[in-house]
Structure 1
Amino acid sequence: MEKIQLRRSLLERRQSMPVSEWREKSDRICAHLETSSLFTQAKTILAYFSFRQEPDISSLFAHTKYRWGFPRCVGNSLSWHLWTSNDSVQIGAYGIVEPHPTAPILDPGEVDLILVPSVASDYQKYRLGYGGGYYDRLLAAADWENKSTIGIVFDFAYLPELPIDPWDKPLKIVCTETGLK
């Protein structure tokens, strides 16, 4: 199946999930992340605000021992901004919640871990994103290519194999509601 059709069918399945099931699975994902050594040893973590029924990892943001960074879409790339639970947010490109443009920008050297939203991931740790290439470009950039990454997906979207392109980069770990892979 091609990426476009696969993406469409997985997004439809994710968005048809009952809210109670989505909440329960999201909570289990967070519990698994909290036991990951990549997570517990990090100081600055890049994350995302859940969109279109992505796994909701917002309960993690209450951990004040971590510095949290969130993306803003700027042109065809992501700009990462420091955010605390006291900071306000705005709706940005594509209807995605993001920090205000005035929030401090995070330097790549400060970042220990990136929690990567994904439509799907496979056993080889490749991800299927939304098709905009934002994370592909980020993970290929010299400042970011060696950062630890955890792809976040529901278990139904953790597949044996995805179609991949030459620019696709594997993640370090994948986390679903059934555990770290």
Structure 2
Amino acid sequence: MEKTQLRRSLLARRQSMSILEWREKSDRICAHLQTSSLFTQAKTILAYFSFRQEPDISLLFAQTKYRWGFPRCVDNSLSWHLWTSNDSLQIGTYGIVEPHPTAPILNPEEVDLILIPSVACDYQGYRLGYGGGYYDRLLVAADWQNKSTIGIVFDFAYLPELPIDPWDKPLKFVCTETGLN
């Protein structure tokens, strides 16, 4: 199945989840992340605010022992900004919640772990995103290539194989409600 059709099908399935099912599965994902050594040993973590019923990992953001970074879409790339629960947010490009442009920028050398929202991931770590290429460009940039990455998806979107393009770069790990792989 081609990427566009697969993306449409998986997004429809995600949107069809009840709020209760979405919350329960999201909470289980958070529990798996919190017990992983990748997470517990990190100091600065890049994350995302849930959009269109992506797995909601916001429970993690209350943990103040971590520095949290969130993306802003700037032209055709992502800039990463420090955020604390006291900071206000705004609606940015594509209707996605993001930090204000004045929030401090995080540099790659400060970052230990990146939690990456995904439409789907496969067993080899390849990711299907929304098609804008923002994370694809980030993951091939020299400063970001060696960072620990975890794709975040619900189990129904963790597939044996995805169609891939030459520019696709696999993530190091994938986390679903059934575990970290």
Q: Which residue of 1 aligns with 2:146?
A: 146
SS at match of 2:34: helix
CA-CA distance at 1:47 after TM superposition? 0.1
Distance in 2 (CA, whole Å) between partners of 1:86 and 1:152 is 25
Distance in 1 (CA, whole Å) between partners of 2:133 and 2:82 is 22
Distance in 2 (CA, whole Å) between partners of 1:105 and 1:123 is 33
Q: So what's the TM-score if we normalise by structure 2?
A: 1.00
Q: So what's the TM-score if we normalise by structure 1?
A: 1.00
Q: Which residue of 2 aligns with 1:101?
A: 101
Residue identity matched to 1:19: I
Matches within 5 A, 1:13-162: 13-162=13-162
SS at match of 2:115: strand
SS at match of 2:31: helix
SS at match of 1:24: helix
Any runs of at least 4 consecutive aligned residues in structure 1 with deviations exceeding 2 A, and if so which? none
Structure 2's unaligned 5+ residue stretches are: none
Q: How many residues align?
A: 181
1:80-122 deviation digits (Å, cap 9, x = unpaired) = 0000000000000000000000000001000000000000000
SS at match of 1:79: strand
Distance in 1 (CA, whole Å) between partners of 2:106 and 2:123 is 31
CA-CA distance at 1:155 after TM superposition? 0.1
Percent sequence identity over aligned pairs? 89
RMSD across aligned positions (CA): 0.3
SS at match of 2:23: helix
